[in-house]
A and B are shown apart, each in its own frame.
Chain A
Amino acid sequence: MKSEPKITIKVAEVLATILSSRDLIENLKTAVLAADTKSVDLDFSEVEFISRSAAHALLIMKEDLRRRLFNKKEANFINANKNVENMLRMVAANRVLPKKKPDFHAERVDIKSFASLL
């Protein structure tokens, strides 16, 4: 059986070398959906760092692409550096088993009493 050709998308070329924004992951999704193949490699080789929010959006994008009824895609993350790998793994682990969020206890003060400490 003839294997389908893979398409590689350079993430840094579509977005940037530091991925911060959750909303811009949609641009990457558009590029994947436009690819004329079922399996797309997302090449992180020029990406230095991704934010936690961008990592979360990337994982959701990957799931959404796989779950589509039509134009289903498999997005593979390749050539990610250690920082990017660690962030993706941490967010993926937290999706499966979220850590308990702590309570917040700060002393309440008004600005006058607070600034008078100066």
Chain B
Amino acid sequence: MKKVIVPQPKNDSLIAQLAALYKTFKDIPPKENLEFDLSGLNWFCPLLILPLSAYINVTNSKYAKNQNQSYLDTIKFPQGVDSISSFEQQVQLYKTFIPISVLKREKGSERERLESLFVGMVYKIIGGAILGAQNAIYYPLTELITNIFDHSKQNAGFVFGQFYPKKNYLDICIVDCGRGLAGAYKQEKNLIISDESAIKEVMEGNSTKPNNERGYGVRTSKKVVCEGLKGGFVLISGAAALFSSDKNEKLISLKDFYWQGVIIAYRMPKPTGSIDISKYLE
């Protein structure tokens, strides 16, 4: 089994986290069985820890225990929780730590209730009593999570969030190991395009579905996060990534890297003033 050393991000920016994720999975063929060495990590971020969790779950890979194992146990790394009772049990024990949550298609309404608990907890941690904050927090989360079951053709999705009280922001990550964006355009529209072009199609609102009324979710969610909340947004699929903030936007080619599926991560600063998301929703 190949060993992979997971590098510590150089700093706490989303770009540094993306770079660490890239280094972790660079030159790794899709779905290879791996053993991850987390000993170099002295703190964890959702953009790194959740794709690792999803990858370990899907490929039955392994990981070597870390000196901060108690934190990993607190968030239920790598297996996550997949039921309301186990989510509630974790939250009872660890209060403000949100466990890695695994949403399973076959659980139907229970999946929706688990997602409600996850989303509700994110709001409880970061939302406060700010006017409009609930909508600003709920909108991107619900929209991006439902895409897993609408588009990935996978039966499980992974979600995780971590609040950093000293920095006053919350990082969220949503992961699937499905067909990816380019795969969806190929299968649904017979459109053969690169991963970068597939991200462009998504951001222009060209849905993989025939219905012209669809295709707003990702772009408007990104606008709520970047323009409404002044946060940052990362979307990865295959060998391409998008990085967005309220100041700039880059479409990044990830040479010798391939994520089978979609990873979305974003940073939400704790809202300090009222927010009206309606202007970002189109």
Q: Write the residues of chain A forming the contact surface with B, with a CB cutoff of 8 angstroms.
A: 14-24, 27, 48-54, 56, 83, 86, 90, 94-95, 98-99, 101-112, 114-115, 117-118
Q: Contact check, A118 vs B149: say whether CB atoms are below 8 A apart.
A: no
Partner of A102, one of B120, B138, B204, B254: B204
Quick one: given A20-B142, A24-B108, are A110 and B253 in contact (CB under 8 Å)?
A: yes
- Would A94 and B252 count as touching, CB distance under 8 A? no
Residue of A with least CB distance to B11 = A118
4 nearest A-B residue pairs (beta carbon): A51-B142, A101-B205, A20-B142, A115-B19
Q: Is the CB of B251 within 8 A of A95?
A: no
| Total A-B contacts with CB atoms under 8 angstroms apart | 155
Residues of B within 8 A of A102 (CB): 204-205, 219
List, in ascending order, chain B residues with CB within 8 A of A23's CB: 105, 146, 149-150
A21, B11: Cβ atoms closer than 8 Å: no
A52 touches B109 (CB 8 A): no
Tell me the complex Cα distance, A20–B253, Å: 31
Are the C-beta atoms of A16 and B116 separated by less than 8 Å? Answer: yes
A/B interface sample: 22 pairs, CB < 8 A: A16-B109, A16-B116, A17-B120, A18-B115, A21-B111, A23-B105, A23-B146, A23-B149, A24-B112, A49-B135, A49-B138, A53-B143, A54-B146, A106-B250, A106-B251, A108-B251, A108-B252, A111-B252, A111-B254, A114-B15, A114-B250, A118-B15
Partner of B115, one of A16, A103, A108: A16
Asked if B115 and A20 make an inter-chain contact with CB atoms under 8 angstroms apart, the answer reads yes
Given contacts A20-B145, A90-B278, A118-B15, contact A111 B116 (CB under 8 A): no
Cα–Cα, bound, A24→B110 (Å): 10
The answer to whether B70 has its CB under 8 Å from any CB of chain A is no
Which single member of B10, B113, B216 contacts A16 (CB below 8 Å)? B113
B149 smallest CB distance to A (angstroms):
5
CB distance from B74 to the nearest CB of A (A): 24
Q: Within 8 Å CB of B242, what residues of A?
A: 106
Cβ contact of A118, chosen from B19, B147, B203, B219, cutoff 8 A: B19
Contacts of B139 in A (CB 8 A): 51-52
C-alpha gap A53/B112 in the complex (Å) = 14
Q: Which residues of A contact B213 (CB under 8 A)?
A: 56, 94-95, 98
With A22-B146, A101-B204, A118-B13 in contact, is A109–B112 under 8 Å at CB? Answer: no
Identify 12 new A-B residue pairs, CB closer than 8 A, beyond the known A51-B217, A104-B200: A15-B112, A16-B116, A22-B149, A48-B134, A48-B138, A94-B213, A94-B216, A102-B204, A104-B203, A104-B204, A115-B15, A115-B19
